Structure 1
Amino acid sequence: MFYFGWMAIGFMAIAGLATATHWYNRGWYESNLLNIRKTSYAIMALIYFGMILAGHILLNDWVQAVQFASIAIFIDLAILETPSIQKIGNTEFKKNDQIIENTIRDNERIILSSFQKTAQFTAVVQYSQHHLTELTDEQKDQLPEWDLYSSMLKEYLRYYTDTFGLRISTTSIQFDSDPEIRMTNIRNSLPQIERSNSILIPEENKEEMSNELAEAAVYVVEEGNTICVPFFGSTNSFIITIQAAESGAILNGIDANNIVNLVQIFDWFIDG
């Protein structure tokens, strides 16, 4: 019967479109799965009742109705919803809410990471006096010199950054009490920041970035990957660039805050 061919085409079209969408735009597919399923059932119902109105299926032909419904449910479970193998024995089926699951998993990682970072920051602060008092008097006298200051600062910060797979670099800037001059000095340092960290700052973002850093604000160059933080100290002024150096490393505002506080402790020690 020719109506069966049209039904088969309808089923195949739904299955094909769903599969293609899952491969090419999985995020959209997973977030709209409920709507896709409702739409597919609506299309199948329209096809069935269209065949009844056209006289190709009898209203009281329950065998055809059951067959049609079985195929519709099979496509829904096998292709659209995807049953969980672990729960098939209990006739439970997993909704493919992968985005929600991923969000929950990511939030759990971030919360755990935040606790760990706070604990490590506290440990570094407690260790600071021991670590910094190991400096010789000669080193302390030379510390205002930028190269030595930067080298020893990064060595100190590694107690924190190495724990979380982060990398830092420092770029010296000339501090000025005039905000416009300070902004210009920071703007002139951006090419060096780009070279030192193998990053590219879009030209249209450089003015905004310079302005925010001049106002002592944190600037996110690339979400989750690169953050720039200014520090205007009594000994030296510079831009700290923090990067996620290892796969899976979580970089966020907590790191920027902790690192600036550690830099402040280091600078206080040098100034004292």
Structure 2
Amino acid sequence: MKVQIGKLKVNFLVIYVILLVLMFSIIFSLMFLFHVSHLKILFGGFSILLLIVLAFYWMDSKSFHNNLGRIRRTYYTLYLIVMAIGVITSNLDFKNWKLLTEISALVVFIDLAVFLCPNILKIWSTEFKYEDEVREALIESKQMILKSAKKAENFSKVIQETVVSFDNKPLPQSRDEYVNQLSEYLKLYSDTFGIALTIFIFDPPINEEDKQNKIRSQITKMSIRHAINFSTIEEDKTSMIKSFSYGETIILKEEKLISIPYFGNYYSMIVTLEAGDVAVDGIDASYISNLLYIFDWYMVDLEEDDE
């Protein structure tokens, strides 16, 4: 497992060992060089840990709850390590069971009061619920439902305006005219939500090999346009190319960037949707995909009318 630090990927085990060495160095330095008592180190270390946890909670409470199990395990592991160091260095006497009981009770109390922070809804069965987590989940669900409803409403409006939008428009005579008309039509939907829409267009492939080569070329353009460093592993690129060739929508950045392949009667393309004020999701991809089909059908009908 590797951890991303800026542009550098470092093995987690290396970071883990460095942190352990640093922790033990600080503890032993405080105990033997500065003669700080074991209990002061214990309470000082826990105070720092609690401040870090509090900052993490305020910055991202959702991630805090998602990683709460790991946080609690880390908390209890550090407690046991510090207690073990106290016993090994003879700074903690196991015979002093009263002190050990008081410290352990305090540690458990902090866990219940800070990490779990329960609302006891049923006293006798002691059911616990995370108030903040439930509240945030409800608010998030409500917002998602509202956004989905607004997107559906906007899509219906675009469908209703389709005939008017296509009325008296000439058949595009070039690729640029085609892209301009298509972009204008798709933006009836995307502009409402501040979604930046980009069309990577190419000629219809003559066979499967040609299709994959052209898709590969468009992926290179997408990486430049959206400043994405696609995987340098050839297997991953091949998998992406195959997904596009099968007409599968690919999420490039969660809630931020989605790519939609389309192979039409006149041109093939990959359309990217980049989030602005509102996150982009599969609903947007589905609606844009439908509009691509509608526009292509319009082109076919218009050509037949001209004939």
Q: In the alignment, is residue 107 of structure 1 matched against residue 136 of structure 2? A: no
Shift of 1:123: 0.9
Q: How many residues align?
A: 240
Give the 3 Å change call, closer, same or farther, for CA 216–69 of structure 1 in structure 2: closer
Distance 2:43 2:224 in 1: 56
SS in 2 for 1:181: helix
Q: Work out whether residues 118 and 131 of structure 2, in 8 Å CA contact, stay in contact via their aligned partners in 1.
A: no
Q: In the alignment, is residue 224 of structure 1 matched against residue 255 of structure 2? A: yes
1:111-138 C-alpha deviation (Å, 9 max, x unpaired): 2211111111111001110111042xxx
Aligned twin of 2:242:
211
Shift of 1:11: 4.3
Q: Work out whether residues 33 and 96 of structure 1, in 8 Å CA contact, stay in contact via their aligned partners in 2.
A: no
Provide TM-score, normalisation by structure 2: 0.63
Shift of 1:82: 7.2
SS in 1 for 2:274: strand
Deviating more after overlay: 145-154 vs 96-105: 96-105
The one-letter amino acid of 1:213's match is F
Provide TM-score, normalisation by structure 1: 0.70
SS in 1 for 2:161: helix
Q: In the alignment, is residue 16 of structure 1 matched against residue 48 of structure 2? A: yes
Aligned twin of 2:18:
none
Q: In the alignment, is residue 164 of structure 1 matched against residue 196 of structure 2? A: no
The one-letter amino acid of 1:183's match is Q
Aligned twin of 1:124:
158
Aligned twin of 1:91:
none
Question: Unpaired runs of 5+ in structure 1?
Answer: 59-64, 85-93
Give the 3 Å change call, closer, same or farther, for CA 196–268 of structure 1 in structure 2: same
Give the 3 Å change call, closer, same or farther, for CA 35–199 of structure 1 in structure 2: closer
1:142-172 C-alpha deviation (Å, 9 max, x unpaired): x152101111111111111011121111111
The one-letter amino acid of 2:260's match is V
Aligned twin of 1:87:
none
Give the 3 Å change call, closer, same or farther, for CA 99–200 of structure 1 in structure 2: farther
1:199-227 C-alpha deviation (Å, 9 max, x unpaired): 33223333222211111111222221111
Aligned with residue 31 of structure 1, among 46, 52, 68 = 68
Shift of 1:252: 0.9
Aligned twin of 2:217:
188
SS in 1 for 2:204: coil
Q: Work out whether residues 144 and 235 of structure 1, in 8 Å CA contact, stay in contact via their aligned partners in 2.
A: no
Pick 1 or 2: higher relative contact order, CA cutoff 8 A, min separation 6. 1
SS in 2 for 1:186: helix
Give the 3 Å change call, closer, same or farther, for CA 149–31 of structure 1 in structure 2: same
Aligned twin of 1:235:
266
Q: Work out whether residues 81 and 96 of structure 1, in 8 Å CA contact, stay in contact via their aligned partners in 2.
A: yes
Aligned twin of 2:175:
146
Report the RMSD for the aligned CA atoms in angstroms. 4.0
Distance 1:162 1:122 in 2: 15
Distance 2:214 2:71 in 1: 54
Fraction of identical pairs, as percent: 23
Give the 3 Å change call, closer, same or farther, for CA 210–73 of structure 1 in structure 2: closer
Q: Work out whether residues 204 and 266 of structure 2, in 8 Å CA contact, stay in contact via their aligned partners in 1.
A: no
1:3-42 C-alpha deviation (Å, 9 max, x unpaired): xx86666444433322224436863576239947x959x9
The one-letter amino acid of 1:225's match is K
Aligned with residue 207 of structure 2, among 154, 169, 178 = 178
Q: Work out whether residues 117 and 130 of structure 2, in 8 Å CA contact, stay in contact via their aligned partners in 1.
A: yes
The one-letter amino acid of 2:46's match is I
Shift of 1:52: 11
Q: In the alignment, is residue 254 of structure 1 matched against residue 278 of structure 2? A: no
Superposed, 1:80-99 pairs within 5 Å as: 98=132
